[in-house]
């Protein structure tokens, strides 16, 4: 199974958009900036996990760090409540986690 970071990033953005719904236009800039700035790092974390060079525990720790950073950036958007920011960050990271799991399933 191939892992396409561009597709995953688009899906992560979509997950945030669905979560924040009517507040998307306010959150779009922060989400896009975060995903653009972190794309290479997210791709590296995913690739290391897929190749087995990063154990699951470390992978989850790194993803939690990324989720907290995204959540903090989304908090910068005043109209988004903390709960919505948390849900949005969780939804985006879930997309990445599922993509890596799918890629791992294709290897096993």
Over its length of 108 residues, how does the chain's per-residue pLDDT go in tens digits? 588 999 999 999 999 999 888 888 878 888 898 899 999 999 999 999 999 999 999 999 999 999 998 888 888 776 567 778 888 899 999 999 999 999 998 664
Full residue range of the structural domain in which residue 69 is found: 5-107
d(CA 41, CA 24) in angstroms, rounded, equals 24
Tokens at 27, concatenated: 């959150």
Nearest by Cα to 13 from 36, 30, 32: 32
d(CA 41, CA 85) in angstroms, rounded, equals 21
Tally of domains within the chain: 1
* pLDDT score at 26: 78
Contact 59, 99 (CB under 8 A): no
* pLDDT score at 106: 63
Contact 67, 89 (CB under 8 A): yes
* pLDDT score at 107: 62
């Amino acid at each position: 199974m191939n892992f396409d970071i561009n597709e995953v990033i688009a899906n992560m953005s979509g997950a945030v958009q669905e979560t924040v719904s009517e507040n998307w236009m306010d959150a779009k800039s922060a989400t896009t900036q975060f995903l653009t700035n972190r794309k290479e790092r997210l791709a590296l974390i995913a690739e290391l996990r897929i190749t087995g060079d990063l154990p699951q525990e470390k992978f989850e720790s790194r993803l939690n760090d990324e989720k907290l950073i995204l959540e903090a950036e989304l908090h910068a958007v005043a109209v988004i409540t903390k709960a919505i920011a948390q849900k949005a960050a969780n939804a985006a990271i879930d997309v990445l986690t599922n993509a890596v799991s799918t890629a791992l399933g294709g290897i096993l």
